[in-house]
Amino acid sequence: MAKASMKKMLEAGVHFGHRARFWHPKMEPFI
């Protein structure tokens, strides 16, 4: 379970990372 959870989180992190690049300029004031 732990390994599967970590893998999912890592995969989700990669997807969020790509989206964050596009969102960052607008999200910066909120962070």
Nearest to 7 by CA among 30, 22, 15: 15
pLDDT of residue 10: 74
pLDDT of residue 31: 47
1-31 pLDDT tens trace = 578 787 887 777 666 656 656 665 665 665 4
pLDDT of residue 14: 66
- pTM for this predicted structure: 0.33
Q: Tokens 């893998």 sit at which residue?
A: 7
Q: How far is residue 19's CA from residue 16's CA, in Å, rounded to a whole number?
A: 5
